[in-house]
Amino acid sequence: SDSNLVQKFNVLNIYKFRTAPRELRGILLYHFEDFSNQTIRNPDPNILPGTIHPYFAPQLFSYVNMGLEWQHWLNPMTPGENEFSYTARYAIQWDTLSVFYNTFGAALNWDFTDTLRLSVSTDQILSSEYNSSSVMANLMISLPGGRKFTPVRRK
């Protein structure tokens, strides 16, 4: 709807409470955005037809997200070979506009090799401002030579 530049950064901290094959992670994320041109929030939802909520680009915007993520590998793990897992996550979030969010998500993951993963995921956001749902398919390619930790199942 307009031309705008955004500068942003994230600070992410992940703590593993439990390791694979049933991995539980605590996640703390701080996200910051700075838009070059501010767009004032318009309370009339008919201004941009087809959108769930009015487009809004504040000058400065940030949020804190805290959550848990569970990943469970479904087959015996062999480094560098097919690995299947599912992921479930829940987080709470607050932003600079004093909006509180509940976020839920789940994914099915297929690691073809150490460097190639296909995921199909869904995410839901529930808040006082708006609710949203999404379904995504992601293909992640890691650069060769990078270290990927592939846990080995204990007997």
Among 48-52, 103-107, 139-143, the minimum mean pLDDT is found in: 48-52
Mean pLDDT score, 3-9: 80
64 pairs with which residues across the strands? 30, 94
pLDDT above 90: percentage of residues in the chain: 45
Mean pLDDT score, 85-107: 94
Q: CB-hemisphere CA count at 13 Å for 42?
A: 11
Mean pLDDT score, 96-113: 92
User: Nearest-CA neighbor of 62 among 91, 98, 102, 14?
Assistant: 98
**Is the pLDDT reported for residue 6 higher than 90?**
no
Cα(136)–Cα(142) distance, integer angstroms: 19
Mean pLDDT score, 119-137: 92
Among 25-39, 49-63, 76-90, 110-124, the minimum mean pLDDT is found in: 49-63
The answer to whether 31 touches 8, Cβ cutoff 8 Å, is yes
CA 133 to chain CA centroid, nearest Å: 13
**Is the pLDDT reported for residue 63 higher than 70?**
yes
